[in-house]
A and B are shown apart, each in its own frame.
Chain A
Amino acid sequence: MEQHVNHYELLLTHIGTVLHLEYLIPLLIGTIAGVIGGALPGVTITMTVIVVLPFTFGLDPLQGLAAMIGVYVGGSAGGSITASLIGIPGTPSAVATTFDGFPMTKNGEAGRSVWVGVWSAFIGGAIGGLCLIELTGPFASLALEFGPWEFFALFVFALSMVAGLVGRSVTKGLLSGTIGLVVTIVGPDPILGVQRFTMGIHQLEGGFDFLPVLIGIFAFAQLMPDVEQIRSGEQALAGASRQVNLKVSHLSVFWDILCRPFILLWVTFIGIVIGVLPAIGGSAANIMAYDQAKKFSKRPEKFGTGIPEGIVASEASNSANVAGSLMMIMAFGIPGDAVTAVMMGALTIHGIQPGPLFISQQPKIAYGIYAAYLVALPLMVAVIWVGSRAWLRVIMMPKAMLIPIVLVLCVIGAYALSNSMNDVYVLALFCVIGYAMVKSRIPLAPLILGVVLGDQIEANLIQAVSTDADPWLFITRPISGGLLAASLLSVALAVWQHRRETNRVASIAVEEPDTDF
């Protein structure tokens, strides 16, 4: 009980800290950037957090994290603005919002459509925040029981889940994850420091830094599909410039959301669970939650015609997903998606390693993350409330203007890591690899997780083998064995699902760009 009081005292203290201008300003700027980036079709939250990343290097760790959490929370709600108003999801995690948000706008209820989404994101995020605060500690305690066998098995499980569930081919998902692992074996080995695969290039002697790889992989992969679609004289989003009336009664919007509490809680739960699982992220959470809301609804036939339940399902789950991802990175040091992978990279720059000891060793940062998350939610609502018309104007920014600026910020982001052009060359190399992977329809998320976890997989494997050379321990230790069995099961399940899906759509297969990174 006393420990619980202490827990909430610490939380309140840190909320007070985050409300100081030195933390509030980065959080506000991050939230604004997130709302705009999330609302811009073609610019994902990952891209926005990458763009914001270099600005955080000169800040203290909590200021930088506050900015990134602002981007994450703002971005997950910002995507719903364009999804509702112009029927184009700002991010993949707002796809399901278009199903009912846009029809509602076409029915002349643009304000209701936007605000049901925003307030659902707020409520879903708040419930997710409670779980984040309450469950991260117990998860971390569980992780403290793990030895190298369990950690090795957990990382393999995380990688197999991502590889199996992202994209359209299990083989390509696994291949992508393995390419990520290959990236990490370049450079010194973790025990003796023997140089491996450097090919005489002295710039490779330190191995590949994670952040230039991540920025490179995502920069061209996310921007080039837009470049491919540019035609001379074309004005992107021209149709969105029409005037829309965003006025609405917020009381009635709250009633729209709260009158079906079971659906709200259920879709929020789905969002949190998918966030915790290191696999698919918000892009799947919103679709799954929408599907569940439809199944549990008394009027499923109305879904897709502009009813609030559809928007609530998509946005509440999407927002709660953020809390789930943060939980995973704080308790286990495993990023649930690319955004938390960037956050993890930013933490390691400051010498902080997320994982089971994170909360006990870095309480200021850990409680600061909780506090920043809770403060970011009302801030997100305020940012959208105050600036909705201004953001609408910003998202009309032509791609021809936006793309060069984003690329310059990517270069700065890589360069600023060590004030060195070497990281920029790594960025350039992985820009080419990322685009080649997109054109080959190989998903990027497993590669990123492979790069993040590769060193730890190797270190834990060697530690386990050095402690006891018996390889059967990986299987006979219950948690380790269970996780490895779950890894095999998840791959087998993914193969079965993909095969079933392939057979179903075989006759109508149409090639299209894979936007699910």
Chain B
Amino acid sequence: MMLSRDGISGLVCLAISVVLLTQTFGLPPATIVPVGPAFYPRIVLILLMLLSMILIALDFRAMRAARAGGTAAVAPAAGLPPNYRLVLATFIEFGLYIALLPPLGFRIATFLFVLALQITLEWPRSNKHWALAVLVAAATSLVCFLIFQDYLSVLLPRGTWSNM
């Protein structure tokens, strides 16, 4: 029987709770206080485990009820389907931005990220739109740098490759 998103979430949380709970047995026992460093984590992790199991059980029950009724467990979403390609692209670009911040430095990495994500989310349809996208990227990078570096004393990353 296939699990829905609820069941999968429950399984992930269950796995995390089991792994962490086993780690609590490696923690040192209490010395100066009645309870040790494992006391509270065990309570929290057992609670997480129980709730995960309830979520999985509820999901199974919903699936069984849906099969018995001959209908899908979850009705299809109304309207257009979500554009997951754009979501994935945004995640990848954001990940690249964070990865490239230390080597490229804040100004270059931010300019490239803002430009790339604007283009990804909405392809510029004319030269004017292209110019606007470049302008927004440059302005975001420079204005943020000036405000935070010069006025708010935030030492934004300087590129190890670019020295900028």
Contact = CB atoms under 8 A, between A and B. Distances in A.
A412 B156 contact: yes
Nearest to A192: B37
A401 B83 CA distance: 18
B2 interface: no
B87 to A, nearest CB: 5
B108 interface: no
A7 interface: no
Contacts of B9: 172, 175, 436, 440, 442
Interface stretch (A239-247, A334-342, A343-351, A419-427): A419-427
B161 interface: no
A453 to B, nearest CB: 12
A440 B110 CA distance: 31
A512 B78 contact: yes
A227 B48 CA distance: 31
For the residues of B in contact with A, the DSSP-based class is helix
A182 B121 contact: no
A446 B13 CA distance: 16
A174 interface: yes
Nearest to A225: B82
Nearest to A463: B33
B47 A178 contact: yes
Contacts of A220: 91, 94
B154 A194 contact: no
Interface stretch (A52-60, A95-103, A128-136, A142-150): A52-60
B55 interface: yes
Interface string B32-58: 111111111100110110011011001
Contacts of A228: 82-84, 86-87
A182 B48 contact: yes
Contacts of B70: none
Contact of B41 (A185, A399, A511): A185
Nearest to B137: A404
A428 B95 contact: yes
Interface stretch (A115-123, A229-237, A269-277, A478-486): A229-237
A476 interface: no
A182 B156 contact: no
Interface string B110-146: 1001100110011101000000010011001000100
Contacts, number: 193
Contacts of B77: 510-512
Interface string B83-106: 110110011001101100110000
Contact of B118 (A189, A192, A404, A425): A404
A185 B38 CA distance: 10
A108 interface: no
Q: Count chain B CB atoms within 10 A of each CB in A55, A58, A189, A411 and give the residue with the most.
A: A411
Contacts of A403: 90, 117, 121
A357 B35 CA distance: 28
B159 interface: no
Interface string A460-494: 01100110010000000000000000000000000
A419 B154 contact: yes
A495 to B, nearest CB: 11
B51 A408 contact: no
Contact of A196 (B17, B41, B80, B123): B41
B163 interface: no
A214 interface: no
A194 B52 contact: no
Contacts of B13: 175, 179
Given A228-B82, A512-B78, A175 B152 contact: no
A175 B118 contact: no
A441 interface: yes
Interface string A145-178: 0000000000000000000000001011011001
A509 interface: yes
Contacts of A416: 148, 152, 154
A232 B125 CA distance: 10
Contact of A405 (B54, B97, B140): B140
A205 B55 CA distance: 31
A465 B35 contact: yes
Given A54-B148, A192-B37, A228-B84, A415 B154 contact: yes
B98 A462 contact: no
Nearest to B13: A175
A409 interface: yes
B48 A400 contact: no
B75 A509 contact: yes
A510 B78 CA distance: 7
Given A171-B55, A229-B82, A191 B33 contact: yes
A196 B152 contact: no
B74 interface: yes
B74 A408 contact: no
B163 to A, nearest CB: 17
B152 A58 contact: yes
B147 to A, nearest CB: 7
Nearest to B5: A440
20 contacts: A54-B154, A171-B58, A175-B10, A175-B55, A179-B48, A182-B44, A185-B41, A189-B37, A197-B23, A227-B86, A229-B82, A232-B123, A233-B125, A398-B122, A404-B121, A415-B156, A421-B101, A435-B87, A509-B75, A512-B77
Given A55-B152, A189-B37, A227-B86, 8 more contacts: A182-B20, A185-B41, A197-B20, A197-B41, A404-B114, A435-B91, A441-B5, A461-B40
5 smallest beta-carbon distances between A and B, as pairs: A58-B152, A400-B122, A228-B82, A189-B37, A400-B121
Interface of B: 5-6, 8-10, 13, 16-17, 20, 23-24, 27-28, 31-41, 44-45, 47-48, 51-52, 54-55, 58, 74-78, 80, 82-84, 86-87, 90-91, 94-95, 97-98, 101-102, 110, 113-114, 117-118, 121-123, 125, 133, 136-137, 140, 144, 147-148, 151-157
Interface of A: 54-55, 57-59, 169, 171-172, 174-175, 178-179, 181-182, 185, 189, 191-192, 194, 196-197, 220, 224, 227-233, 398-401, 403-405, 407-409, 411-412, 415-416, 419, 421, 424-425, 428, 431-432, 435-436, 439-442, 457-458, 461-462, 465-466, 469, 509-512
